[in-house]
């Protein structure tokens, strides 16, 4: 099977590296020439646009940021959907609203193209080693046809339903909890420091105690060392938590803690933390000011 990836940022490039290491033929496209140059070094074919990726692929993995970018790379000028053959497939990996996922799936189905709703979680390192989580919603026949690719991408595949949109819903629930956990962890670490405690020692205690969370352990070690280089930009978790709160409101659910976390990520972005790692929320809670 020939595979394409549109969007080879942190996650997309990690997936590309894994698939190439396993011998999959790969065509890629990104708006960043450096990313494309990096892709050449691992043996991927760099395409001129998303349509070229579609021509060369049996399945196109979309790894862009949001619904607007997804719409553009699939259905915009020189989009992939218009170039894919009937019977091909698109795997949607961005965190987007369920309504958008359903809309894209319907538009693809009208063209005879299958849709795998497959949001991912775990970060670039786990995408590279194949241990990230994939929350997969698609028809059983579509999964059977693309099972080899899905399982090459991840050893942690969760079939959450057969209807596209359920993967997106699962991802929003997961990311809202991730946002709550990270916001809470950053707040209590800032509190620990204000109380005169050593941050690293306090985190070591938390990691072996009832306050432990995966995202705190993953983010805060480097944050405490002053490393806010973006592995996952603050803007992404701000977007994801906002989408989750919107989905909750649509369902008539008042997500009180989630709304508080979402507000903190939004405020951090408004005050200059948007391009930093999402663990920069620690700096926001420490100072409430833009880092210089």
Q: Which of 35, 128, 171, 242 is catalytic?
A: 171
Say if CB 40 and CB 62 are below 8 A apart.
no
Say if CB 277 and CB 228 are below 8 A apart.
yes
Say if CB 7 and CB 63 are below 8 A apart.
yes
Phi-psi label, residue 227: left if phi above 0, alpha if psi -120 to 50, beta otherwise: beta
34 is catalytic: no
DSSP state, residue 289: S
For the record, the structure tokens of 165 come out as 């949109």
Give the phi and the psi of residue 253 in degrees, each rounded to 5.
-115, 130
For residues 53 and 174, give the distance between their C-alpha atoms in angstroms, rounded to a whole number. Answer: 31
SS3 assignment, position 121? strand
Q: How crowded is residue 252: how many other Cβ atoms within 10 Å of its Cβ?
A: 6
- Rounded to the nearest 10 degrees, how much is the dihedral formed by the CA atoms of 65, 71, 77, 82? 120
For residues 210 and 82, give the distance between their C-alpha atoms in angstroms, rounded to a whole number. Answer: 51
Annotated catalytic residues are 171
């Amino acid at each position: 099977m020939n595979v394409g990836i549109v969007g080879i940022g942190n996650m997309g490039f990690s997936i590309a590296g894994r698939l190439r290491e396993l011998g999959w033929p790969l065509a890629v496209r990104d708006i960043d020439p450096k990313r494309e140059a990096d892709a050449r070094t691992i043996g991927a074919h760099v395409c001129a646009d998303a349509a070229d990726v579609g021509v060369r692929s049996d399945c196109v993995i979309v790894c862009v940021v949001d619904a607007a970018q997804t719409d553009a790379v699939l259905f915009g000028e020189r989009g992939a959907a218009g170039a894919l053959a009937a019977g091909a497939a698109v795997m949607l990996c961005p965190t987007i609203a369920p309504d958008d996922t359903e809309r894209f799936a319907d538009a693809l189905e009208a063209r005879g193209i299958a849709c795998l709703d497959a949001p991912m979680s775990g970060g670039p390192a786990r995408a590279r080693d194949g241990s990230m989580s994939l929350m997969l919603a698609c028809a059983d026949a579509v999964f059977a046809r693309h099972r080899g690719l899905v399982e090459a991408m991840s050893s942690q595949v969760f079939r959450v339903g057969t209807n596209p949109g359920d993967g997106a819903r699962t991802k929003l629930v997961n990311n809202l909890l991730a946002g709550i956990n990270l916001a809470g962890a950053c707040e209590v670490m800032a509190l620990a420091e204000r109380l005169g405690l050593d941050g690293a020692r306090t985190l070591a205690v938390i990691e072996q105690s009832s306050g432990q969370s995966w995202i705190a352990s993953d983010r805060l070690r480097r944050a405490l060392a002053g490393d806010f280089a973006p592995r996952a930009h603050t803007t992404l978790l701000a977007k994801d938590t906002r989408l989750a709160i919107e989905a909750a409101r649509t369902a008539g659910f008042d997500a009180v803690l989630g709304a508080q976390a979402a507000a903190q990520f939004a405020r951090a972005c408004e005050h200059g933390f948007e391009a930093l790692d999402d663990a920069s929320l620690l700096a926001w809670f420490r100072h409430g000011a833009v880092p210089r």
